[in-house]
Amino acid sequence: MLITGIRSKPIYAPLQPDLGGRYHLMVGYGVGAAPLSRLLGDFDRAMPESKAHTRIWYVADAAAPQANTEAFRAANIAELRSFNAIDPMLSDLTAAMDQALMGTRLYVAGPESFMGLVMRIAHGFNLAQDEVRAEECGTLARRVHCIHCRETIENVRTNIVQCGCSRWLVVRDHYSRRLAAYMGVMIDAEAPGERPEIKEVFL
């Protein structure tokens, strides 16, 4: 029932330094600290002078204690901005990107639902694929956009989810970069009440 093989599903890869960039913005959430620490290490080996032009925006979650940011502090980068929630971080990042110059590269690490929100800001600044690198880690839970009432449901772990509008939605692999969400489509429109078994699939 999950409609797969749809090419809009983003593809991620382990973060690598882009030595062609001049300024480096790194953004992470929770367990995304690990890929960013590894990336800082790679930069340190390949281009230690890049530290002066590297800034990190990091959102801690309960599963990833503040200890993570100690590694960032030790790396001696230009700036570290720590947050306890995603929204204030996104506003702060938007303000920073508004002042950023061409030659900037963006690195994002964390769950896909988080990265989607960061990517949406990046697209607003017309960053292209060759300016952004993203590594997925952490939960596979999805942001789901109900195509009927247009509400967004956070942290969806199941193949089928009930929206606030009371419709039961199948979570498709059809991803919208503009909405930073997967499309949820009513599953029992033709046969009301006939729904496949609900399973946890996005863990």
Partner 1 sequence: MSASHADTIPVRVVAVEQITPQIKHFRFAPIAGGELPAFSGGSHIIVVMRGAQRVYRNPYSLMSSPNELDSYQISVLRVEPSRGGSTFMHEQVQVGTELEIAHPVNLFGLAKLARKHLLLAGGIGITPFMAQLHDLRLTEVPFELHYATRSPQHGAYCELIAQAEPQRARLYHDSAQRFIDIEELLSRQPLGTHVYVCGPAGMITRVLDTARALGWPESHVHYEKFAAPPTGEAFDVHLQKSGIDLHVLPDQSLLEAIEAAGVDAPYLCRGGVCGFCRAEVLSVDGELVHNDHYLSNDEKASGKAIMPCVSRARCSKLVLNL
**Residues near partner 1, by CB under 8 A:** 20-23, 97-98, 100-105, 125-131
Residue 86 C-beta: closest distance to partner 1, Å: 21
Q: Toward partner 1, which CB reaches closer, 97 or 201?
A: 97
Q: Toward partner 1, which CB reaches closer, 130 or 151?
A: 130
Residue 179 C-beta: closest distance to partner 1, Å: 17
DSSP string, 132-187: EEEEE-S---EEEEETTT--EEEEE-BSEEE-TTS-EEEEEEEEETTTTEEEEEES
- Burial readout 139-172 (b: 16 or more C-beta within 10 A, e: otherwise): bebbbbbbbeeeebbeebeebbbebeeebbbbbb
Q: Toward partner 1, which CB reaches closer, 124 or 164?
A: 124
**Residue 122 near residue 114 (C-beta atoms within 8 A):** no
**Residue 107 near residue 24 (C-beta atoms within 8 A):** yes
Q: Toward partner 1, which CB reaches closer, 89 or 163?
A: 89
Please give the Cα distance from 199 to 196 (Å, whole number).
Answer: 9
Question: Six-digit token pair at 29?
Answer: 């959430």
**Residue 57 near residue 85 (C-beta atoms within 8 A):** no
Q: Toward partner 1, which CB reaches closer, 17 or 111?
A: 17
Residue 25 C-beta: closest distance to partner 1, Å: 10
Question: What one-letter code names the amino acid at 75?
Answer: A
Residue 22 C-beta: closest distance to partner 1, Å: 3
Residue 184 C-beta: closest distance to partner 1, Å: 27
